[in-house]
Structure 1
Amino acid sequence: MPALLDAAATADRLPFSLLADEIERLLGDATVQVPARLVQPLPGGGSLFVMPALDGRLAITKLITFTPANAGTARPAIQGDVVVFDAATGVRQLVLDGPTVTARRTAAVSLLAARRLAPQPAGPLLVVGAGAQAQAHVEAFTAGLGVRELRIVSRTRASAQALAGRARGLGLRVEVVDDADAALATCPLVVTATPASQVVLNGPCRPDAFIAAVGAFTPRMVELAPALCRALAAQGTVVLDTPDAVHEAGDLLQAGLDPAGFPTLRDIVLGHATRPGPVLFKSCGWAGWDLAAARCALREEP
């Protein structure tokens, strides 16, 4: 029988630095195929995501629901699974916890981007948001970049303090702050990981800033002020996680920018040059990242 992994077992198979390495390998793998994902609206404002991907060895499908109304409740906003098959035989090999894969592979993608693009990768780090994605990014940047100082901004003090406690457990010096824009003056490393229902960052940012914006992954979602996006495009570099983001990057689309003109993470891995100045890494998600997680999980099999 294939292994059916819960959240903890899935996390154990996906160490952040090794997952970032696997993502980098996947970007150079010519056998990878990723069809367009299906996003089906659900009653009540949620969405069902069906996300397949394959390479020369594996075929995976991530099947998850995203329910924004669950924010602030005991139910997670993201629920579901990643099912992993042997591509040649069709045999199911593994079932991974979908929310854990989503959080960890998203943070690992940001980690890879920061390795390649962040002028000051050691931070201090500012995280806007205090949910699962924020926690994953704190863990990933601590493990993979050596971050030791953290500022947290969240809509609720309790969630910010909870994340602060977990971060202190990792050995970080942590401060919960109220003004994200003011914190930009001392934080060259920034992650926005919110429900993306409103602008949470207006700027201005430092000239050596690296901003990973991961909360907005549909055209109508937004975390960054339009003026900030336009300033980052004019003064520095904007990088997309994949070409699919041209249709999904709400932050950029609502700023009147054409995402098709920006390089992708694959371009960066393959040697695309960037210019000096601040960097905006706009991440919208891709089933290829889930495939990389499946590959990593099988490599890490006990």
Structure 2
Amino acid sequence: MQNLLDAAMTAARLPYPALAEEIRRLLADASVQVPERLVQPLAGGGSLFVMPACDSRIAIAKLITFTPANAGSGRAAIQGDVAVFDVATGARIGLLDGPTVTARRTAAVSLLAAQHLAPSAAGPLLVVGAGAQGRAHVEAFAQGLGVREVAIASRSAASAQALSAHARTLGLAARVVEDPHAALADCPLVVTCTPANAVVLRARPRDDAFIAAVGAFTPAMVELDAGMCRDMAQRGRVVVDTRDAQHEAGDLIQAGLDVSSFPTLGEVLRDAAPAGRGPVLFKSCGWAGWDLAAARLAVRQGEAG
């Protein structure tokens, strides 16, 4: 594996369908160890994330900053790297672009969840939030689910138009919508990937809706209205990415729901229980295990190349 990979090289090693499959394999790997991440608040509202993980072959440490104030400034909100080490020798064998890994593994987790949980996986897809995560989710759902139509909502009209234009380069029928609540009636697939500083969805979703909410990863952050979360828990099913959601899933915590009662993605995949009726809410908060899966795939792709 080439030791230092920039954003483009990192992306080339992490095709979305293969990454979703690697995440599924990681969830079944008993050698995986993922301690709780360290989140250090920074002056000005930013955060420093230190996220280690390992399996029997490689160890990783993701070191990134998250700076919400960079939105609209031309500077990336997420910056940093993922260092990859060989467990047997201790040698560093790779350095991946942190923002690229974060965007692609988050979208791949949503893709994996949608592949197994979405009642109507063909779309159309509604994406609320037109930043890096919005772009990654459009790409992932197009490649992994065959979605051909996407509606995009964003507080920034320029960002929404830019993502819509990108979606059209992928061969998708794309449109910008001003009211995401109205678009819920037409879209069984939904992704919310905003800065999570305010509610962006509150309308009642379709009975066959699958919503991946990825923006909120602290108890104070929120994208989905509390009543909407309670309604989906009552009418359908709520699944969280990991047990860490118990103290991170702001949408569910603020809705007063017992987060510990909801199954994790890994538990759902292991149990292979038949899908129930009603809408599905997949709450994703992030986990260093997803970064480890990306590193595993990148290493294997490098060895094959």
| Structure-1-length-normalised TM-score | 0.99
Displacement of 1:276 after TM fit?
Answer: 1.1
Find out whether 1:129 has 2:113 as its counterpart.
no
Letter paired with 2:142 = T
Residue 33 (structure 2) pairs with residue 33 (structure 1):
yes
Runs of at least 4 residues of structure 1 off by over 2 A?
Answer: 272-275
Tell me the secondary structure at the aligned position of residue 223 of structure 2.
coil
Shift in Å at residue 203 of structure 1? 1.5
For 2:293, the equivalent position in structure 1 comes to 292
1:272 CA drift (Å): 4.9
- 1:157-196 equivalences under 5 Å are 157-196=157-196
Q: 1:54 maps to which residue?
A: 54
Deviation of 1:275 (Å): 2.3
Per-residue CA deviations over 1:140-176 (Å, capped at 9, x if unaligned) read: 0000000001000000111000000000000000110
For residues 287 and 155 of structure 1, do their structure 2 counterparts lie closer, same or farther at Cα, with a shift above 3 Å needed?
same
Matches within 5 A, 1:65-76: 65-76=65-76
Tell whether 2:6 aligns with 1:6. Answer: yes
Return the letter of the residue paired with 1:141.
F
* Alignment-derived partner of residue 155 in structure 1: 155
Match in the other structure for 1:207: 207
Q: 1:237 maps to which residue?
A: 237
Measured in 2, the distance between the counterparts of 1:272 and 1:22 equals: 18
Q: Deviations over 1:70-128 (max 9, x none)?
A: 01111100000000000111000000000000000000000000000001111000000
User: Which amino acid is 1:136 matched to?
Assistant: A
- Corresponding residue SS for 1:160: helix
Q: Does 1:146 align with 2:135?
A: no
Which residue in 2 is equivalent to 1:112?
Answer: 112
Give the corresponding residue for 1:246.
Answer: 246
Offset, 1:2: 5.6
Q: Structure 2 counterpart of 1:199, which letter?
A: V
Distance 1:258 1:77 in 2: 31
Aligned residue pairs total: 302
Amino acid at match of 2:117: L
> Residue type matched to 2:146 in 1?
G
Matched AA of 2:147: V
Determine if contact 1:2/1:92 at 8 Å carries over to the other structure.
no
Query: Does structure 2 conserve the Cα–Cα contact (< 8 Å) formed by 1:229 and 1:251?
Result: yes
Query: In the alignment, does 2:220 pair up with 1:220?
Result: yes
Q: Percent identity?
A: 70
Tell me the equivalent position of 2:20.
20
What is the distance in 2 between the residues matched to 1:40 and 1:185?
40
| Paired residue type of 2:285 | C
Contact 1:37 1:51 in 2 (8 A): yes
Unaligned runs of 5+ in 2: none
TM-score (normalised: structure 2): 0.98
1:267 maps to a residue whose letter is: E
1 CA distance for matches of 2:170 and 2:299? 27
Indicate the RMSD between aligned Cα atoms, in angstroms: 0.9
Partner of 1:63: 63
What amino acid does structure 2 have at the position aligned with 1:186?
Answer: D
- CA offset at residue 271 of structure 1? 1.7
Q: Which runs of 5+ in 1 are unaligned?
A: none
